[in-house]
Amino acid sequence: MPVVAVPLAQLLGALLAVAAVAKVRRFGAWRAALDGYRLVPARPAAAVAVPAAEMAAAAGLLAGLATAAWGAAALLLAFTLVLAAELASGSAPPACGCLPFSGRPGRLTLGRNVALVAVAVAAAQGVTPTLGRAFWEASYAVLWLAVAGLAVLVLSLYRQVGVLHLRLGPRGALEEEGEGPELGAAVDHPALPAGRATLVAFTSAGCPVCRQIVPGLGVLERDPVLAVVHAAYEEEGGAELHAAFDVPGTPYAVYVDAGGVVRAKGTVNTLEQLESLVAAGGSRAREAVGDVA
């Protein structure tokens, strides 16, 4: 793996050059920000001197001059001390807009400035850190962790988009008279949990639409009062269950109330249609209880 030297002086010089150019380009905003520093004397002169000093230090750093690095360290230290004094007095100066995305200075700004002073001192002493094998291995590990995190995020979003797509389909299950079990008929089958309202969903492997409603069954299973039976034709007992309910085709669903009575049925293509069938079946079951009472 390649060993890369980090040019501290040049990087710091580029940073100071950006800060100086930003002050000059937005000189009015820089002047207004400087007025917020109560401890800075001769603010009109300082408004011109600071970007000039930054630009001079930047030019020297880019040229590789050690004296320019010491000058940059002194300049950054002065900024840090002034800001620390302002913050200690209870005054939070406005943002100077020196760097992109810079905000109102605070304790984090002090920490950043201290780090920049340390970089300037290291550059003045000729320190040249290198990025070797350990750095590249750590960067690869971080990148793979980021890829894994993004993959999990994409899969989560894909699932949510799928559920949303199912909800946006046509409303209402297609309930045809003469197809499937008779409404109001009692059914007794070992696949149905006793004493619980049950949604029986019929699917088959050769049905593309069936694959769309299977995730919706997982959503409905979260309802504690509803049992969900997925009757796939190819699975063990699936064909017999299809025949017992006289299923005309797939995807198809039947709602059976807690008493074992068929209350709703129909062809379903979306999660919303499954939910509407459950809602219709539950409503009819409650109405039947009211009529008996």
Q: State the pLDDT at residue 229.
A: 92
Q: State the pLDDT at residue 128.
A: 75
Q: State the pLDDT at residue 43.
A: 76
**Mean pLDDT to the nearest integer, 9-32:** 85
Which position has the higher pLDDT, 260 or 34?
260
Q: H/E element holding 203?
A: strand 197-203
Q: State the pLDDT at residue 98.
A: 67
For 117-176, the pLDDT digits (tens) are 998 898 888 887 777 777 777 888 899 999 999 999 998 888 777 666 656 555 567 777
CB 25 within 8 A of CB 59: no
Question: Is residue 27's pLDDT more than 80?
Answer: yes
Q: H/E element holding 68?
A: helix 66-88
For 66-111, the pLDDT digits (tens) are 898 899 899 889 888 888 887 887 776 777 666 656 667 778 888 8
Q: State the pLDDT at residue 202.
A: 93
Q: State the pLDDT at residue 134.
A: 76
pTM for this predicted structure: 0.44
Tell me: domain 197-292, CATH 1.20.120.1200, correct?
Answer: no
Question: Is residue 199's pLDDT more than 90?
Answer: yes
Q: State the pLDDT at residue 293.
A: 44
Per-residue confidence band for 112, with pLDDT thresholds at 50, 70 and 90 = confident
Q: State the pLDDT at residue 203.
A: 92
For 243-284, the pLDDT digits (tens) are 999 999 899 999 999 989 999 999 988 888 888 899 999 999
DSSP string for residues in 79-131: HHHHHHHHHHTT--PPP---STT--S--HHHHHHHHHHHHHHHHHHTT---EE
Delimit the domains of the chain by residue range.
4-128, 197-292
- Distance between CA 12 and CA 29 in Å, rounded? 24
Sorted by sequence, the CB contacts under 8 Å of residue 72 that are 6+ apart come out as 12, 13, 16, 57, 58, 60, 61, 120, 123
Strand 197-203 versus strand 226-232 pairing type? parallel
